[in-house]
Structure 1
Amino acid sequence: MSVPVAPGQWPVLGHSPAMLRRRFAFTSSLREHGDMVKVYLGPVPMYFVTSPELTHQVLVTDAASFEKGAMFDKFRPFVGNGLVMSNGAFHLRQRRLIQPAFHRGRIARYAETMRESVSDLTDSWREGRTREVNEDMQALAVTIVGAALFGTRFGQAAIAEARESIPIVIKQGMIRALSPAFVDKLLVRGNRRFDRAVTRMRAVVLELIADWRATGTDRGDLLSMLLMARDEGGEGMTDQQVHDEVITLLSAGIETSALALAWLFHEIAQNPEVERRLHEEIDGALDGRPVTFEDVPALPYTQQVIKETLRMYPIWILMRRTDREVELGGVRLAPGTEVTISPHALHFDPRFFAEPDRFDPDRWAPERAGDIPRGAFIPFGAGTRQCVGNTFAQLEMAITVATVAAKWRLVPVPGKPVRVKYTSTAYPARLSMMAVPRG
Structure 2
Amino acid sequence: MPVPVAPHRWPLLGHTPSMLRQRAKFTDALHEHGDVVRLDLGPLHAHFVTSPSLTHEVLVSQGSKFRKGAMFDKFQPYLGTGLLLSNGEYHLRQRRMMQPAFHRERIEAYASTMARAAAALAARWRPGEVRVIEDDMQELAVTIVGETLFSTEIGKRAVEEVRRSIFTVIQQGMIRALSPSFVEKLPLPGNREFDAAIARMKAVVLQVIESWRADGTDNGDVLSMLLLAQEDGVGMTNQQTYDEVLTLLTAGIETTAIALAWALYEVGNDPEVERRLHAEVDSVVGDRPVTFADVASLTYTSQIVQETLRKYPIWFVMRRTLTEVQLGDVSLPAGAEVIVSPHALHHDERYFPSPERFWPDRWTPEFTAGLPRGAFIPFGGGNRQCLGNTFAQTEIVITLATIAAKWRLVPTRPARVKFTSAPYPNGLLMKAVPRN
TM-score normalized by structure 2? Answer: 0.96
* Contact 2:152–2:219 (8 Å) recurs in 1: no
Residues 130-183 of structure 1: CA deviation (Å, up to 9, x unaligned): 111111111001100000001163322322222233223333333333344344
Shift, 1:241, TM fit? 0.5
Match in the other structure for 2:59: 59
Say whether the 8 Å CA contact 1:171–1:424 is kept in structure 2. no
Partner amino acid, structure 2, of 1:194? F
Matched residue, 1:436: 433
Partner SS state of residue 418, structure 1: coil
What is the match of residue 216 of structure 1?
Answer: 216
Asked whether the equivalents of residues 79 and 198 of structure 1 are also in contact (C-alpha less than 8 Å), the reply is no
Q: Residue type matched to 2:418 in 1?
A: K
Which 4+ residue blocks in structure 1 deviate beyond 6 angstroms?
Answer: none
Give the aligned residue type for 1:71. M
Contact 2:324 2:333 survives alignment (8 Å)? yes
The letter of the residue matching 2:393 is Q
Measure, in 2, the Cα distance between the counterparts of 1:345 and 1:184.
31
Q: Distance in 2 between matches of 1:361 and 1:301?
A: 8
Q: Matches of 1:32 and 1:240 in 2, distance apart?
A: 46
Residues 1:86 and 2:86 aligned together: yes
Question: How far, CA to CA, are the matches of 1:286 and 1:171 in structure 2?
Answer: 37
Q: Measure, in 1, the Cα distance between the counterparts of 2:22 and 2:201.
A: 31
Match status 1:391 vs 2:390? yes
Matches within 5 A, 1:128-277: 128-151=128-151, 153-231=153-231, 233-277=232-276
Task: Note if contact 1:137-1:261 (Cα within 8 Å) is conserved in structure 2.
Answer: yes
CA contact (8 A) 1:16 1:178 kept: no
1:152 and 1:263 map into 2 onto residues whose CA distance is: 32
Structure 1 equivalent of residue 415 of structure 2: 418
**Shift in Å, 1:317:** 0.8
1:269–1:411 CA contact under 8 A, matched in 2: yes
* Pair 21,164 (structure 1): closer, same or farther in 2 beyond 3 Å: farther
Alignment counterpart, residue 424 of structure 2, candidates 416, 420, 427: 427
CA shift, 1:333, in A, is 1.0
Residues 350 and 189 of structure 1, relative CA distance in 2, 3 Å threshold: farther
For 1:16 and 1:178, the matched residues in 2 are separated by 11
In structure 2, do the counterparts of structure 1 residues 395 and 29 end up closer, same or farther at CA, with 3 Å as the change threshold?
A: same
Q: CA shift at 1:370, angstroms? A: 2.2
Distance 1:104 1:3 in 2: 44
Aligned to 2:10: 10
Report what 2:123 is aligned to: 123
Distance 1:18 1:172, change over 3 A: farther
Aligned to 1:34: 34
- CA deviations on 1:267-297 (whole Å, 9 max, x unpaired) are 0111111111111111111232221111111
Residues 168-225 of structure 1: CA deviation (Å, up to 9, x unaligned): 3333333333344344344444434333332322222122212222222222211111
Number of aligned pairs?
436
- Separation in structure 1 between the aligned mates of residue 194 and residue 3 of structure 2, nearest angstrom: 37
Secondary structure of 1:287's aligned partner: coil
| Preserved contact between residue 111 and residue 292 of structure 1 (Cα < 8 Å) | yes
Aligned partner letter, 1:405: A
Q: After superposition, where does 1:284-363 map in structure 2 within 5 Å?
A: 284-363=283-362
> Is the CA contact 1:171–1:423 (under 8 Å) kept in the aligned structure 2?
no
1:105 partner SS: helix
52-61 or 28-37, which deviates more: 28-37
| Distance of 2:17 and 2:195 partners within structure 1 | 24
Residues 1:96 and 2:96 are matched in the alignment:
yes
**Residue type of the alignment partner of 1:134:** E
SS of 2:358's partner is: coil
Specify the SS of the correspondent of 2:40: strand
Partner Cα separation in structure 2 for residue 112 and residue 207 of structure 1: 26
8 Å CA contact 2:417, 2:423 repeated in 1: yes
Counterpart residue type for residue 222 of structure 1: V
Gaps in structure 2 of 5+ consecutive residues: none
Q: Which moved more, 1:34-43 or 1:188-197?
A: 188-197
TM-score w.r.t. the length of structure 1 is 0.96
* Distance in 1 separating the partners of 2:402 and 2:3: 50
Does structure 2 retain, via aligned residues, the 8 Å contact 1:16–1:179? Answer: no
Compare 140-149 and 190-199 and name the one that shifted more: 190-199
- Contact 2:118-2:399 at 8 Å conserved across structures: yes
**AA of the residue aligned to 2:383:** T
